[in-house]
Amino acid sequence: QVQLVESGGGLVQAGDSLRLSCAASGRTFGSYVMGWFRQAPGKEREFVVAINWSGGTTRYADSVKGRFSISRDNAKNTVYLQMNSLKPEDTAVYYCAADSRVSVNYGFNFPASYAYWGQGTQVTVSS
């Protein structure tokens, strides 16, 4: 069982930066693929980025490539999402997700691939 708690969301202006954190419980955090998804009002939850257990492999949605960066610290059971050059279209609730069975080679971009989810943190980018 893994519990995930996101933090770091807020209201910023276009062009600003934010860093989201996702703290995980459980001794097996290092074996989990971690993902970030987001959901805007009236839209489906969409994939943002995923990272493998070691942090050596990452996958990004095209919409955030070059602006967002994911990293993880397995000693702290925490994954981070650094978001730069934020745009109004980045406004959404951001969710952290984890699963030990998902692969960063396939299935990583589908919400159904992840068994564990955080409660979400709101990111609002004003123009």
Find, among 127, 102, 104, the residue nearest to 112 by Cα.
102
Ramachandran angles phi, psi of 57, nearest 5°? -130, 130
pLDDT in tens, the chain (127 residues): 899 999 999 999 999 999 999 999 977 888 899 999 999 999 999 999 999 999 999 999 999 999 999 999 999 999 999 999 999 999 999 999 999 999 999 999 999 999 999 999 999 999 9
Q: Are 49 and 104 in contact (CB under 8 A)?
A: no
pLDDT at 127: 94
Task: Report pLDDT for 82.
Answer: 98
DSSP lists the bridge partners of residue 5 as: 23
Q: What does the pLDDT read at residue 29?
A: 82
Q: CA torsion sign, 66 to 103 to 53 to 36?
A: positive
